[in-house]
Amino acid sequence: MKDASRDRIQVEDAILRFKKAAVCTGAQAAAPAIPGMQEVGYLTNETLFSVTELPPRLCVIGAGPIGAEMAQTFARFGSRVTLMEKMGRLLPREDLDASTIVQAQMVKDGVQFIFDATIVRVEARGSDKIVHYETHRRAAELVVDEILVGIGRAPNVEGLGLENVNVEYDGSGVKVNQRLRTSNPQIYAAGDVCFPFKFTHTADAMAQIVIQNALIPHPFGLGYARTDSLVIPWCTYTEPEVAHVGLYEANAAARGLEVETFTYNLDEVDRAILDGQTDGFARIHVKKGTDKILGATIVAAHAGEMISEFTVLMKSGRGLKTLTSTIHPYPTQAEVIKKVANAWRKARFTESQKNILKKWFAWTR
Ligand SMILES: Cc1cc2nc3c(=O)[nH]c(=O)nc-3n(C[C@H](O)[C@H](O)[C@H](O)COP(=O)(O)OP(=O)(O)OC[C@H]3O[C@@H](n4cnc5c(N)ncnc54)[C@H](O)[C@@H]3O)c2cc1C
């Protein structure tokens, strides 16, 4: 962004004028503030895909989605992988039992875990890389061939001259309102550079919001698209996958929402048994006393394919009654979605309804 005249951008030597512009510069791997790391060298999610030889021993730092996915992948390729995390568990943002299931599979894949780890420094010793760390007040070192850092992503805001055109930003990115407009009314932003949910599908949804708001006329100020109307699912592509949409139980409690939570395990779903993929579950959080879905988590081999059923219901304002009256083909793993909805329905039966049903079943035998 060239100057404060607010409608010019410099691309190499050319000055281009715009009526509306959008900042979509994405994010990059956050740099670790660990002494010695720059000197020793490390891989990130950007450089990882250029690696041509399998590191025999790999230290992955960060047990979030990228760290978990890459640790499992490299373990399956044949690397001896150690995953280090400063928190106490894998995928700390997901439900504990979800991450426990994934961790158990990763242990079977050969991944070693070091939790509550503080990395003190890194040094090179010959061709080895030594990671000095502390865990539970015990100092130790790990010797590896390569280090992969997956500790989060930082927005690409530097060097664009945003300050010249009055576009406010900070370490978390370009500041936007719900319409994705920046502090300069002619300039919008979309994607990782301005949004906490850093996914391809959210970047795409935000691009559509920017197009609608920046390029289409809005008579009487009507017809603006907003980010708060987005229902955003996500998925961690480990095996099994962990997919989620909406609130977690803790989020709901923090917002003062009373929820009822229902879980149905895959080991009671015929297709999952047939497929030998019984490690997982579907979980729903429902607004108490209603059928309104506030959030859902699925742990399953193809959880990312299954979560959209909940997303559609949430986006369209439909609840579990729609789900319980929707036929699901048998045998599919997605039946777990119907079964968890049925668990909600059963919990709503009154004692007299239960008694009538019991008598009915006894009579029909
Ligand atoms: C390892 C990894 C795995 C991921 N897996 C998934 C996944 O499975 N599913 C999912 O939904 N999301 C995933 N993501 C996240 C997803 O890639 C991003 O959320 C998405 O790409 C964001 O889109 P964007 O357009 O905002 O930014 P980007 O896709 O990063 O695009 C920004 C572009 O702007 C360019 N740029 C930057 N600065 C400038 C400049 N000054 N001038 C010109 N161009 C510039 C960049 O080079 C880049 O090409 C993953 C990310 C990583 C790192």
Mean pLDDT, range 335-358, rounded to an integer: 87
- The verdict on the CB of residue 146 being under 6 Å from ligand 1 is no
Distance CA(75)–CA(96), nearest Å, equals 23
- 220: which 2 tokens? 């009487």
| 323 Cα–ligand 1 center, Å | 35
> Which atom of ligand 1 lies closest to the CA of 190?
26
| 22 Cα–ligand 1 center, Å | 15
Which amino acid appears at position 174 of this protein? V
State how far Cα 127 lies from the chain centre.
35
- The verdict on the CB of residue 156 being under 6 Å from ligand 1 is yes
Q: CATH 3.50.50.60 region(s) of the chain?
A: 16-28+154-158+173-229, 33-150
Name every residue whose Cβ is closer than 8 Å to that of residue 5 and which is 6 or more positions away in sequence: none
Tell me the average pLDDT of the chain: 94
- 40: which 2 tokens? 């020793």
pLDDT band at 356 (very low <50, low <70, confident <90, very high): confident
Mean pLDDT, range 185-209, rounded to an integer: 97
- The verdict on the CB of residue 210 being under 6 Å from ligand 1 is no
pLDDT band at 360 (very low <50, low <70, confident <90, very high): confident
CATH class (in words) of the domain with range 33-150:
alpha beta
Name every residue whose Cβ is closer than 8 Å to that of residue 229 and which is 6 or more positions away in sequence: none
| 199 Cα–ligand 1 center, Å | 8
Helix (H, G, I), strand (E, B) or coil at 188: strand
Mutate-to-test residue for ligand 1 from 28, 192, 241, highest number of ligand atoms within 8 A of CB: 192
Which amino acid appears at position 2 of this protein? K
Distance CA(111)–CA(283), nearest Å, equals 27
- The verdict on the CB of residue 150 being under 6 Å from ligand 1 is no
Model confidence pLDDT, tens digit, residues 225-269? 999 999 999 999 999 999 999 999 989 889 999 999 999 999 999
- Closest residue by Cα to atom 21, ligand 1, is 200
- The verdict on the CB of residue 26 being under 6 Å from ligand 1 is yes
| 349 Cα–ligand 1 center, Å | 48
- The verdict on the CB of residue 66 being under 6 Å from ligand 1 is yes
Q: In this predicted structure, what is the pLDDT of residue 3?
A: 56
- The verdict on the CB of residue 200 being under 6 Å from ligand 1 is yes
> Which atom of ligand 1 lies closest to the CA of 193?
26
Beta bridge partners of residue 283, listed in sequence order = 263, 297
Model confidence pLDDT, tens digit, residues 213-229? 999 999 988 999 999 99
> Which atom of ligand 1 lies closest to the CA of 160?
41
Mean pLDDT, range 271-293, rounded to an integer: 97
Nearest to 221 by CA among 186, 187, 179: 179
Residues in the chain: 365
Residue 315 near residue 343 (C-beta atoms within 8 A):
no
| 4 Cα–ligand 1 center, Å | 28
Model confidence pLDDT, tens digit, residues 90-127? 999 999 999 999 999 999 999 999 999 999 999 999 99
| Helix ranges, 28-126 (H) | 37-40, 65-77, 96-109
CATH class (in words) of the domain with range 16-28+154-158+173-229:
alpha beta
Distance CA(327)–CA(188), nearest Å, equals 43
Q: CATH 3.30.390.30 region(s) of the chain?
A: 233-351
Phi/psi-derived region of residue 285, left when phi > 0, alpha when psi is between -120 and 50, beta in every other case: beta
Model confidence pLDDT, tens digit, residues 126-157? 999 999 999 988 999 999 999 999 999 999 99
pLDDT reading at 173 higher than 60? yes
| Cis peptide leading into residue 331 (ω within 30°) | yes
Would you identify the CATH topology of the domain 233-351? Answer: Enolase-like; domain 1 (3.30.390)
